[in-house]
Amino acid sequence: MTEQIATNVHWHHGEISRADRYRVLGQKGATLWFTGFSGSGKSTVAVALEAELLKRGRPSYRLDGDNIRLGINKNLGFTAADRTENIRRIGEIAKLFTDAGVIALSSFISPYRADRDAVRALHAESGMDFIEIYVDCPLEEAEKRDPKGLYKKARAGQIKNFTGIDDPYEEPNAPELVLKTAEMTLDQEVDAVIALMVKRGLILDV
């Protein structure tokens, strides 16, 4: 848990409730957390899902690992401590989107189970939906894809603390959904996520 440094700060409540925002948008906000190896297909499915939700008139916003590290988390590296802080910050951002009634599509390797569980707990404390989606792709397949050439660099020792090579990945114990991207088509993956969202009552159309 991150220590509260600032003093004399208090949460300021407004006049608009979360239920009010959800009613206006016609949906419940939620955080969909895609986790898995680099190259597993997290961003690919999130991009396709965002497009499908737009077609349905459902507001969503995609929070991508590299995009976040180019902005708000540009001061963080890939040590265990920095990874934890990276996930803590994005968890707080995703929670704000969820509170606003927007569906947050968060695509992060997020290799440590404790960090993902902390984000889940953060949402649970406020009664917000958090859906962990394990993008399950064998390391061998992810390394074969290697869309950014990162595995090759990690194998050559040019990148340190790389998940799956010299840093661990801890699989989710009980994710809400598992997408086996080496066996499923992209359309099947998107359909599976949409079906779960409908089942959870996040969106009402089918």
143 pLDDT higher than 50: yes
pLDDT at 165 over 90: yes
The active-site residue out of 40, 60, 107, 110 is 107
Q: Which residues contact 178 (CB under 8 A, 6 or more apart)?
A: 133, 134, 136
CB distance 136 to 111 below 8 Å: no
Instruction: Read off the pLDDT of residues 179-206 as tens digits, 9 standing for 90 and up.
Output: 999 999 999 999 999 999 999 998 865 4
**Percent with pLDDT over 90 in the chain:** 78
Closest CA to 101 of 176, 13, 24: 24
Cα 162 to Cα 109, 138, 139, 182, distances in angstroms: 10, 16, 12, 21
> Do residues 121 and 54 touch, judged by C-beta distance below 8 A?
no
DSSP designation for 182: T
Q: What are residue 177's DSSP bridge partners?
A: 133
For the entire predicted model, the pTM comes to 0.90
Task: Tally Cβ neighbours within 10 Å of residue 142.
Answer: 23
The whole-angstrom separation of Cα 74 and Cα 66 is: 9
| 110 catalytic per annotation | no
- H-assigned helices in 56-79: 65-69
Round to whole Å and give the CA distance between 154 and 134.
23
Residues counted in the chain: 206
pLDDT at 5 > cutoff 70: no
Rounded mean pLDDT of 36-64? 96
Sheet bearing 129-135, strands edge to edge = 60-64, 103-107, 30-35, 129-135, 177-179
pLDDT tens digits for range 66-118: 899 999 999 998 888 999 999 999 999 999 999 999 999 999 999 999 999 99
